[in-house]
Amino acid sequence: MFRSLFLAAAGSRQLERLVESAPVAGMVRRFVAGRSADEALRVSRELADDGLAVSLDHLGEDTHTMEQAVATRDEYVAVLRRLHDAGLTPAAEVSVKLSALGQRIDEKAAYEHAHAICAAAAEAGTTVTLDAEDHTTTDATLETLLELRREFPSTGAVLQAYLRRTEGDCRELATAGSRVRLCKGAYAEPESVAFQSALDVDKSFVRCLNILMSGEGYPMVATHDPRLIAIAEDRARWFDRACGEFEFQLLYGVRPEEQARLAAGGNTVRIYLPYGEQWYGYLMRRLAERPANVAFLARAISSKK
Ligand SMILES: Cc1cc2nc3c(=O)[nH]c(=O)nc-3n(C[C@H](O)[C@H](O)[C@H](O)COP(=O)(O)OP(=O)(O)OC[C@H]3O[C@@H](n4cnc5c(N)ncnc54)[C@H](O)[C@@H]3O)c2cc1C
């Protein structure tokens, strides 16, 4: 109920204006690198200095016109060049939402945009991961992934453990050279397609982890959940995966002490680092994940002069 409230708030322009006008810059900065590529590069450098890899996400999922989609493509191409010139690749890659590239307007054009970003990434010596969005886009996104992988085999997939179909998708994708990020899933999904209880989602996560860790691909374990992280560490030992043969991924600003602990243990740890003007929907999804974040936000808003 609490989670759905915040996921609904992600679409509220009124609340966005309130949050924007409130002195919550600290709250936003905790989860978002900044509005510009300059800020994203600065934070990427700081994380690299701490031994952390990054996946940069340009926040822009509210794409309603082809002009916006083209601007998003151009932003990614430009930031990839800058990451390369700053010596931040290959440790820095990018995460891309096909919706931001116009998937809902014209699927073919969205594919072309994703292709241009993959080509820029290859030129910059790094790669791209296609974020997973709500379940109505899963088939189209996985089809696009397979198409892109013909030319850019390291393009990463994201699978959401809350979807009932995901175990099957893990089996399909646990092949040599296949990079797969496994996460719980961040959207409000109906019972017909998704597990509803936290326990069922966790159990699905472990089943998927077993498939990916025992398979031939490169698992990217994207969770902050201490129990699932411990299980992933255990499965890596069980299936004889050395530190470079899988990675942990965590969101910027979430459990930074755990990020440091995992990196100090020799693991590859990649931080998902969002930046851009459209920070609001992203922030609401992070709030939906944890009640304590909401108390923090409420305090910031009520302290508005
Ligand atoms: C690198 C990365 C990429 C992702 N990509 C996608 C994607 O493409 N598509 C998609 O649907 N979802 C994506 N997600 C989001 C994911 O699906 C979950 O919604 C999110 O990670 C919370 O789930 P959790 O596994 O951390 O477990 P939870 O059970 O939500 O959290 C476990 C613990 O982690 C801490 N924690 C979790 N979230 C927060 C927070 N926001 N603030 C403070 N502490 C927190 C708390 O201590 C909590 O008890 C991604 C997540 C990560 C880490």
Residues of the chain with pLDDT under 70: 1-25, 61-62, 291, 296-305
Tell me the catalytic residues: 131, 181
How does DSSP assign 155-183, residue by residue?
A: -BEEEETTBTTHHHHHHHH-STT-EEEEE
Q: How many Å apart are CA 42 and CA 127, to the nearest integer? A: 20
Give the position of tokens 């085999």: 153
Q: 254 C-alpha to center of ligand 1: Å?
A: 8
Q: What is the pLDDT of residue 184?
A: 98
Task: Give the atom of ligand 1 at the shortest distance from the alpha carbon of 249.
Answer: 1
Q: What is the pLDDT of residue 293?
A: 73
pLDDT, tens digit (0-9, with 9 covering 90-100), for 56-92: 999 976 689 999 999 999 999 999 999 999 999 999 9
Q: How many Å apart are CA 228 and CA 278, to the nearest integer? A: 30
Pocket-testing residue among 187, 189, 290, 296, ligand 1, by greatest number of atoms within 8 A of Cβ: 290
Q: What is the pLDDT of residue 277?
A: 86
Q: What is the pLDDT of residue 305?
A: 35
Residue 89: CA count within 13 A, CB half-sphere: 19
Q: 150 C-alpha to center of ligand 1: Å?
A: 30
Give the position of tokens 């179909």: 165
